[in-house]
Amino acid sequence: FTEILDLIWTLSQFEEYSEQWNLGRQLLFEDFPFWNSTSIDLENFPIQLKALRSLLSYSESEILLNSLNFEFFSTFF
């Protein structure tokens, strides 16, 4: 449960509908969904947290990532 709160808190640090916010939502709900029709999948949490925290650090540096760069970056996790 703590991992879910950490993901939500990290995503909430982005300005709503910003590029980083949209990429974070894509990560959580499309690329590495953390639930299926019957249960929550905890296997993807480490990947999601690392990627969201990296997005946050890029956001603070005012470096915008596009989807192609994000896909390349996420392959390292």
Q: What pLDDT is stored for residue 34 in this prediction?
A: 63
74 pLDDT tier (thresholds 50, 70, 90): low
pLDDT (tens digit per residue) in 11-56: 777 788 888 788 877 877 777 666 665 666 677 677 777 777 777 6
The answer to whether residue 64 scores a pLDDT higher than 50 is: no
Which residues, in sequence order, are CB contacts of 54 under 8 Å at separation 6+?
Answer: 73
Q: CA 57: distance to chain centroid? A: 12
Q: Kind and range of the H or E element at 55?
A: helix 45-60
Q: What pLDDT is stored for residue 66 in this prediction?
A: 47
